[in-house]
Chain A
Amino acid sequence: MSERTDLLLSIADDELVLGWRNSEWTGIAPFLEEDVAFSSIAQNEIGHARALYELAAAELGTTADELAFDRSPAEYRCAPLVQLRKLEWARTIARHWLYETADEIRLAALRASDDPEIAGIAAKMDREEAYHRMHAEMWVERLLSSDEGRARLNEAVDELWPYALGVLDDGLRPELRSRVERRLGRALPDVEPVSRDVHEAELAELLEEMTMVRRSAPAGARW
């Protein structure tokens, strides 16, 4: 596998798995409007995953569906941050915000890529991610405006921080640290990032559930 497909798959897997995780709130988010908005954002992430899988599939001579559903858990390249099952709203929002902040940094780097397809898809994704960031940022602002919210956000960020660092390559991590520290108005600990090579047990469970329908149908079934 080339460095290019490895890069495409790591971002695609991030978007697919986070989209799936966020969609676990559909029907049970804190209130109706948030439920619709958060589910819609989750669908957007999955749309980004599809576009990225299609680029990788063209190079690998396969299809986006096969890449999304037919690999073994060990072959997925998604960051552990998105693998964690966090059905607790403060942690979900903290993860969403940390991911979107890291993703913005990553997309800015990709938009400057010499590869026109990668630069192009990064620019397209960024135009939609702008609304995801707006959503995440509003929540953070709101949580920081009360003592309880601030405490819950800080606690969640502390727990997720090593995972958030693991979303980005070494070179981009300092930028993430400075943005998050600036926003929270405090220093974050020096920790070892949780790298993409780590597979949380929760990932296998997620993939089992996500591929259930596909596995139940005969190969080559069309939907």
Chain B
Amino acid sequence: MIFEVFRQERKGQPFQHAGSVAAPDERFAEIYAREQYGRRQESIALWLVPRSAVHEIAEFPDEFEMKYRRVDGYSIKARLREARERAGTLEMAPGGES
């Protein structure tokens, strides 16, 4: 079996894909992942996911080049503030006045 390994470096941080281990079962996978991704204290937690449990999506058609969906170069912060002022919801926004 192949297990995908995700590791968390510090408390509160997201788990990130670290690599994979091949192992005959979950218990061997635990030992192998522990030694491979944790022996240098580089992880505080690991997630092991059987590769067969991963549902992959790899197709994103874009037949009409809908570039306007991208937000590159579009400064949203100031516009959002103006919109919130108009609506009177500035203080309710996440982070308060910011």
Chain A residues engaging chain B, CB cutoff 8 angstroms? 31-34, 36-37, 40-41, 43, 131, 134-135, 138, 142
Contacts and interface: CB of A to CB of B under 8 A. Distances in A.
A43 B36 CA distance: 13
Nearest to B34: A131
A142 B24 contact: yes
B31 A37 contact: yes
Interface string B21-48: 1111001100110111001000000000
Contact of B21 (A33, A131, A138, A142): A33
A138 B31 contact: yes
Contacts of A131: 31, 34
Contact of B36 (A37, A41, A134): A37
A138 B22 CA distance: 15
Interface in B38-92: 39
Nearest to A36: B36
A40 B27 CA distance: 17
Contacts of B24: 142
Contacts of B28: 33, 138
Contact of B35 (A31, A41, A138, A142): A41
B32 A33 contact: yes
A142 B32 CA distance: 15
20 contacts: A33-B21, A33-B23, A33-B28, A33-B32, A36-B32, A36-B35, A36-B36, A37-B31, A37-B32, A37-B35, A37-B36, A40-B36, A40-B39, A43-B39, A131-B31, A131-B34, A134-B31, A135-B31, A138-B28, A138-B31
A223 to B, nearest CB: 19
Given A33-B23, A37-B35, A41-B35, 9 more contacts: A33-B21, A33-B32, A34-B32, A36-B36, A37-B31, A131-B34, A134-B27, A138-B27, A138-B31
The 9 closest A-B pairs by CB, nearest first: A37-B35, A40-B35, A33-B32, A40-B39, A36-B36, A135-B31, A33-B21, A37-B32, A138-B27
Q: Is the interface of A mostly helix, strand, loop or mixed?
A: helix
A142 B23 CA distance: 12
A31 B22 contact: yes
Nearest to B31: A135
Given A138-B27, A138-B28, A142-B24, A33 B34 contact: no
A134 B30 CA distance: 10
B9 to A, nearest CB: 19
B27 A33 contact: no
A27 to B, nearest CB: 15
Nearest to B29: A33
A134 B23 CA distance: 15
A114 to B, nearest CB: 33
Nearest to A34: B32
B26 to A, nearest CB: 10
A40 to B, nearest CB: 4
A124 B3 CA distance: 30
